Amino acid sequence: MKYAKIISSGMYVPKKVMTNAEFEKLTMFTIDPYFSDAIGINHRHISEDWETPTYMAAEAAKKALARIGMKPEEIDLIIVGTDTPEAVSPPDAPRVQYLIGAHKAEPLAFNVNASCANGALMLDIAARYIAMGDYKNVLVIGTYAMTKFLSWKYSWEALFSDGAGALILTASDEPGFIGSVARADGSWWQNWGIYMGAGTMNLAGFERGLHKLDLRAAYPSTVNEEGWPMLINKLMEKYNITKDEIGMIFFTQVRKKTIEKVMETLGLPIERAHMIMHKYGYTGSACVYMAYDDAFDEGKIEQLEGKVVIFLTSGVGYQQVATAFRM
């Protein structure tokens, strides 16, 4: 059996920045100072019209390929995770395949959508394909263009940014991928989302604003504050991982104070949770890969040899996934 190892990363971030002051002028909402402190966000990156989800995904992928000098035709499988797709159909992944120049080798390319839980889920899927011997090199990309789905009339919209992150995994004789745990609860399905779809793709649906992101009822903070430690403890128990072995945890970058509280609950130093929301805002499906790439650029990844790295992602719907790798 082969193990999946992470060998490269890349990200793409739009250059256009919206400050808090600009957000307040646009929406007529004053951002509570607590928001910036608790969430950790004081600006957001806004994609231009030409910076589509597939464009951003392809640019992140190109950087991951260039980092290790890998040719596009060496990629055997491309998985794109997003809940802000370029189209309902066809999926983004074949378009990304073409944009990076991998189409001549005809690697399989498909989308997944577990909303913002995509990051850890895609790693789990890719690792299992590699373990079965079906593919050697797998490219996983999270891309997020949520600002294109905002109404710009609600205070909570200050959370969102656009961007893309990519990781490349390859088959190895040594771990690598350790395993995953997950949970989901569909009773929260109606709380938050973009509810345009079959049956509502009509004038009435547009008039109701179903093509825009809608926060109908907030999730309680306990969803992550209690759910994340529970999943990490399950992961540690299932795969005999000790706290001392955990070198880094990449959480969904949705709230700084939640990450700090979870690390305190786990009894782990906050330095082992690399955070990027202060740099890039909240980028959903892309955020944990962007956090990994940012940690790599800061020289943190090379210090984790032999350690366990955990990706823990949450998405509306809801679903949560925790995936562990030995570096």
Q: Does 150 share its domain with 236?
A: no
Same-domain check for residues 218 and 309: yes
Sign, CA torsion 320/1/77/45: positive
How far separated are the first and last CA of the chain, in Å rounded?
18
Determine phi and psi for 213, rounding to 5 degrees.
-65, 135
- pTM reported for the whole predicted model: 0.96
Tell me the backbone φ, ψ of residue 184, rounded to 5 degrees: -150, 155
Confidence band (pLDDT; 50, 70, 90) for 175? confident
- Looking at the structure, tell me whether residues 55 and 106 fall in a common domain: yes
Domain end point (choices 155, 174, 193): 174
67 and 158 co-located in one domain: yes
Alpha-carbon distance 307 to 243, whole Å? 10
Tell me, what's the pLDDT at 299?
Answer: 97
For residues 166 and 28, state if they share a domain. yes
The neighbour count for residue 207, using CB atoms within 10 Å, is 8
Residues 168 and 250 in one domain: no
Co-location of 165 and 300 in the same domain: no
Do 278 and 193 sit in the same domain of this protein? yes
Torsion of CA 302, 305, 308, 314, to 10 degrees: 20
Q: Which of 158, 174, 190 is the last residue of a domain?
A: 174
Instruction: Determine the Cα–Cα distance for residues 74 and 138; give it in Å rounded to an integer.
Output: 9
pLDDT at 31 over 80: yes
What average pLDDT does the chain have?
95
149 and 211: one domain? no
Asked whether residue 136 falls in the same domain as residue 268, the answer is no
CATH of the domain at 320: 3.40.47.10
Exposed, middle or buried by CB within 10 Å (0-12, 13-18, 19+), for 13?
Answer: buried
- 63 with 36, same domain? yes
Distance, in Å, from the CA atom of 104 to the CA atom of 229, rounded to the nearest integer, reads 44
Helix (H, G, I), strand (E, B) or coil at 166: strand
Q: Which of 151, 174, 197 is the last residue of a domain?
A: 174
Asked if the model's pLDDT at residue 90 lies above 90, the reply is yes
* Mean per-residue pLDDT, 23-33: 89
3-state DSSP call for residue 290?
helix
Q: How far apart, in whole angstroms, are the C-alpha atoms of residue 6 and residue 247?
A: 15
Number of domains in the chain: 2
Mean pLDDT of 143-159: 95
Do residues 147 and 281 make contact, with C-beta atoms less than 8 angstroms apart? no
Residue range of the domain that includes 136: 3-174
Going by C-beta distance under 8 Å and a sequence separation of 6 or more, which residues neighbour residue 12?
56, 57, 59, 60, 63, 163, 164, 165
From the CB of residue 41, how many other CB atoms can be counted at a distance below 10 Å? 25
- Enumerate residues 6+ apart whose C-beta is below 8 A from 101: 72, 73
Most confident of 106-115, 196-205, 218-227: 106-115
Q: Note whether 152 and 106 are same-domain residues.
A: yes
Per-residue pLDDT, 64 = 98
Residue 293 has pLDDT above 80, yes or no: yes
At 199, is the pLDDT very low, low, confident or very high (cuts 50, 70, 90)?
A: confident
The pLDDT assigned to 34 comes to 74
